[in-house]
């Protein structure tokens, strides 16, 4: 028996198992893959998990019979790109109402007006130095995000493998990095696979301090824009029941497990039935695990400390000041913005201030209030805000 992960074979190796003669897009009947010669196989039983049903297979019936089973709780999402679509504005107008597309565009414009934003696609060529810098930053962003969620991800568990995997694939145009930079610092990264005219947005990561700016939606906007410009047929966002995927997608599909077996031996049928029973049992267990009662118990038993426990602060308070509340300038110590960028705790209130005031970061000044403990002043073009941190244990800071 041969077991494998269909999507990994497809995306990482551009290999289609011998059980499949051809693949079509299920949504428009376009041929994606066709075997050059009639395939043979010495393997009696094949089991492939994670077959995406946006593809419709032509299975090698001359060699195999097939049993299929849906993988429960693997709902997946994608964007079918209309062949006559020439600009992302056409998709936005067709897919979103005015009230639902307005916040997406507003946050993207706000991001670009508050920071020195640039977008970069690495596809076909990237240096090892640049690649390493981006991947290391991506790992940091993922770790912070999943710590914030009190959750984990298989991506971080296999990070060294992915870091080794993607560099040659990018240079071979089998993968890409989409990066949103603030100056020279990546604040959002999407690591993607490419197969034919299918774009797989595989690993997204963003800096949680920029949460107010909706980086996830801006990333999808830029990826879809690139796909339209490069005549792609489909942008896949993969499985995971995230709100932004539901917002952007115009197509949902399932992942299936396929068990192919040669019918000339009763043992092959027994193996196939055994694997099918295993899958059905797994689906039952998944149903129990996803039950409301189980999730509630899991949260109570496995609840973790605050996601920001690496910071010396429990939380902070914000006070909006007016001219009459102005603090004596003799008590203010100017802070270098580079120093603030390194002072992790101050980044989020500063960036939230920028979002609310629409100020550019270069027009904002930040001060340490020297006669108060852990108190700072953020001064924009028209607004002033006082930020006071409450310590939860001793720690050094800027």
pLDDT at 286: 64
Cβ atoms < 10 Å from Cβ of 11? 22
Whether 192 contacts 199, CB under 8 Å? yes
Work out the average pLDDT over 309-330: 73
Sign of CA dihedral 286, 288, 293, 299: negative
DSSP type of residue 326: P
**331 pLDDT higher than 70:** yes
Work out the average pLDDT over 63-76: 88
**287 pLDDT higher than 80:** no
pLDDT band at 342 (very low <50, low <70, confident <90, very high): low
pLDDT at 306: 45
Q: Which residue has the higher pLDDT, 175 or 279?
A: 175
pLDDT band at 141 (very low <50, low <70, confident <90, very high): very high
pLDDT at 352: 96
126: left (phi over 0), alpha (psi -120 to 50) or beta: beta
Percent of the chain with pLDDT over 90: 67
pLDDT band at 345 (very low <50, low <70, confident <90, very high): confident
pLDDT at 291: 52
In terms of Cβ atoms closer than 10 Å to its own Cβ (0-12, 13-18, 19+), residue 157 is: exposed
**273 pLDDT higher than 80:** no
CB proximity list for 89: less than 8 A, separation 6 or greater: none
Q: Residue 323: name the closest of 377, 378, 382 by CA.
A: 382
Work out the average pLDDT over 118-126: 98
pLDDT at 387: 94
Work out the average pLDDT over 157-186: 97
State the average pLDDT for the chain.
88
pLDDT at 314: 54
**294 pLDDT higher than 70:** no
Whether 174 contacts 165, CB under 8 Å? no
pLDDT at 240: 83
Collapsing DSSP states into helix, strand and coil, what is residue 172?
coil
The H-or-E segment that residue 203 falls in is strand 198-206
Work out the average pLDDT over 345-349: 91
Q: Which residue has the higher pLDDT, 237 or 393?
A: 237
**250 pLDDT higher than 90:** yes
Whole-prediction pTM:
0.87
**312 pLDDT higher than 50:** no
**263 pLDDT higher than 70:** yes
CA pair distance 273, 61, nearest whole angstrom: 18
CA pair distance 145, 142, nearest whole angstrom: 5
Work out the average pLDDT over 294-309: 49
Strands (E) across 290-397 are located at 313-321, 332-334, 365-369, 375-379, 384-391
In terms of Cβ atoms closer than 10 Å to its own Cβ (0-12, 13-18, 19+), residue 211 is: middle
pLDDT band at 275 (very low <50, low <70, confident <90, very high): confident
pLDDT digits (tens, 9 = 90+) for 181-236: 999 999 999 999 999 999 999 999 999 999 999 999 999 999 999 999 999 999 99
């Amino acid at each position: 028996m041969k077991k494998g992960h269909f999507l990994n074979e497809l995306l990482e190796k551009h290999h289609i198992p011998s059980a499949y003669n051809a693949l079509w897009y299920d949504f428009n009947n376009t041929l994606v893959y066709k075997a050059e010669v009639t395939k043979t196989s010495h393997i009696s039983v094949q089991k492939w998990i994670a077959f995406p049903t946006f593809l419709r297979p032509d299975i090698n019936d001359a060699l195999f019979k097939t049993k299929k089973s849906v993988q429960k709780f693997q709902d997946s999402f994608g964007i079918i790109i209309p062949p006559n679509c020439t600009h992302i504005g056409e998709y936005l107008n067709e897919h979103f109402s005015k009230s639902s597309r307005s916040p997406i565009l507003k946050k993207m414009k706000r991001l670009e007006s508050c920071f020195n934003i640039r977008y970069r696609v690495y596809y076909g060529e990237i240096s090892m130095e640049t690649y390493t810098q981006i991947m290391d930053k991506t790992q940091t962003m993922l770790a912070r995000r999943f710590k914030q969620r009190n959750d984990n991800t298989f991506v971080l568990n296999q990070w060294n493998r992915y870091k080794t995997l993607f560099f040659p694939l990018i240079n071979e145009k089998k993968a890409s990095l989409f990066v949103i930079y603030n100056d020279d610092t990546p604040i959002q990264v999407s690591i993607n696979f490419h197969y034919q005219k299918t774009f797989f947005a595989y690993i997204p990561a963003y800096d949680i301090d920029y949460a107010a700016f909706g980086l996830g939606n801006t990333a999808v906007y830029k990826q879809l824009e690139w796909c339209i410009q490069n005549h792609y047929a489909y942008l896949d966002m993969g499985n995971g029941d995230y709100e932004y995927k539901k917002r952007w997608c115009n197509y949902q599909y399932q992942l299936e497990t396929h068990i192919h077996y040669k019918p000339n031996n009763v043992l092959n049928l027994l193996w196939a039935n055994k694997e099918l029973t295993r899958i059905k049992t797994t689906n039952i267990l998944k149903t129990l695990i996803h039950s409301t009662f189980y999730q509630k118990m899991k949260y109570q038993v496995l609840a973790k400390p605050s996601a920001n426990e690496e910071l010396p602060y429990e939380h902070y308070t914000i006070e909006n000041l007016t001219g009459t509340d102005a603090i004596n300038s003799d008590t203010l110590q100017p802070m270098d913005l580079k120093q603030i960028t390194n002072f992790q705790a101050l980044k989020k209130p500063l960036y939230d201030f920028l979002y609310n005031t629409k100020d550019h970061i270069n027009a904002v000044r930040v001060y340490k209030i020297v006669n108060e403990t852990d108190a700072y002043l953020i001064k924009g073009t028209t607004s002033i805000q006082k930020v006071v941190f409450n310590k939860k244990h001793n720690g050094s800071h800027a």
